[in-house]
Every structure is written in C-alpha cells, then in structure tokens.
Amino acid sequence: MKKYIVLLLIVMTFLIPSIIAVNLPEISPETTNIEFTHTVFAEYGTTTTCPYCPPTSESLYNISQSGDYPFYYVSLVANANYDAGSRLTFLQARAVPVVYFDGGETNIVGAYNDSVYSSIIEEIGSRPVKRNLEVNVNVAWLGSAKIKVNLEIKNNDNAFYLGILKAYVTEIESRWVDNDGLPYHYALLDFAINRPILISPGQTKTISKVWDGNIKRNGEVFNDVTEDNIMVISTVSHWLPKIREGYRDKTYLAFVVDQTAAVTIT
C-alpha cells in the first residue's frame, strides 16, 4: 500500500501546475572551507510591487556573480508569470521575499544581507545528497525564439535513481522590474522540461527538448526572447518528498534537489 501512496504523490506533483550571462561566472568553491556535495539551487519568490524585495534581489545576484560558491538561483516573479506563481503556490508561499533552497529543503522569509544567504548556501551545500549525480546541460539557439535543450544525467551510484527533472528557462536580465525599477535576474519564463526520470546504476540518461517561445502558454508568449539573454537552469530532485515548515507554520512538500547545472546559449 505504501508503494501506491508514494506513486500517487509523484503523479500529483505533475498534475498540479508547476509552480511558482553573458558568461557564467567561474565557480571556485575552494574560496571557502566548505566541502560542497552538490551545486546549490535557490528559488526566490517575489513580486514587482514588493517594497522589501530589492535587497534580496541584489544579494542573490551578488552571490551568484561572485564565483565563491557552486550556486544558481531563479527569480519567481509571482504577479508577472503564471508558472512562477504556481510554483510558489505549490510551496505554500505566504509572504515575499522568500527564498527556497534546494527545492524547499530549507527556506527563509524576509530581506537579508549577503552574509545571511551565503551562510545558508554553505550549510545546505555540505548536506548529504541521495545519489552522486552528474548533470550536464547544453542549449542551442535555433532562431525565431526557439532553443534546443540537451541534458545528460549520470548516476554514479550502484542503485537506481528515481527523481524529477526540471529545466527552467530564464531571462538573465528580466523584462520585469522590481519595486525599485531595477530588472530581475534569472527570472523564470517557462519550464522546458518538467518530468520524472529513472536512471539505472552507472547509466547516463540523455533527454532533449525544443522550447518554442512563440507558443502561447497560460496567456503568455515569449517570442521576443534574445539569444544572449537566456540561461537554462536544470535540477534533479529526489522522488520522495519531505514535509517542511514555511511561513507561520505552514507546511509544504519539498522534493529536495540532488544536483543542479546551468548554461547560457553557445
């Protein structure tokens, strides 16, 4: 019976709408004394009208550009993008700014300085992961607002890996601006890939998908995206969710990220 309950949870995850540069900085985790087990991923919940959000936007961008950590983040601009708002609904977000680290393994509500977010990245970056995974992502510009996303996920362990693969299509400098009138960075436009994945021990799984910005999704179309302003951030999360506590004791399901990779168009 347990097996069927778990499978039902996985199916529900994909039935619920997935909620809500340019050169990559060279990442040098050796600049800290922390031994990172994986690349850390953050989902930053915000709105264009939030007066408290600009400092968080600045801090996360500063950290991502510093190259001090293996770290990427996505801005989920809830009042501007359907998928961003849906993702935050799934995570039971009740206030912004809020940052969910590694799929919701931990979260923090409110605006803080760089050192607070850096401390969380160091702490969560050293946690054990379920499997030793390698993720490589490559993106090719096909013209006319179309890109091809190629992903390779290798399972380096001697056990099967069942997880959830997501590929976030983001704008490096967003079309949406924060309450200070400054553009967001790495703002989610759409998911190129959002599906379960099963990888045998030692196997490398290859998945390709063409994302077309001309296709209207939930009333939104992104046919004006430009080649030099796109970053695709891919995550692989373990299939078994954890119950985590959010704002004002509101609980949510966290599908914890085991590995992250990102790339701009080359």
Residue 30 has pLDDT above 80, yes or no: no
- Residue 130 within any structural domain of the chain: no
Q: Is residue 109 part of a domain?
A: yes
Average of per-residue pLDDT across 172-199: 98
Residues 108-132: tens digit of each pLDDT: 999 999 999 999 999 999 999 988 9
Q: Is residue 149 part of a domain?
A: no
Distance between CA 135 and CA 39 in Å, rounded? Answer: 10
- Has residue 1 got a pLDDT over 70? no
Question: Residue 8's domain spans which residues?
Answer: 2-125
Torsions phi, psi of 249, nearest 5? 65, 15
pLDDT tier for residue 15 given thresholds of 50, 70 and 90: very low
What is the rounded CA–CA span in Å between residue 223 and residue 172? 16
Write out pLDDT tens, residues 211-258. 999 999 999 999 999 999 999 999 999 999 999 999 998 999 999 999
pLDDT at 32: 58
In this prediction, residue 34 carries a pLDDT of: 79
CATH of the domain at 71: 3.40.30.10
Q: What is the mean pLDDT of residues 19-37?
A: 52
Examine residue 98 and state whether it is found in any structural domain, yes or no.
yes
Taking residues 97-102, what's their average pLDDT? 98
User: What gap in Å lies between CA 186 and CA 180, rounded to an integer?
Assistant: 17
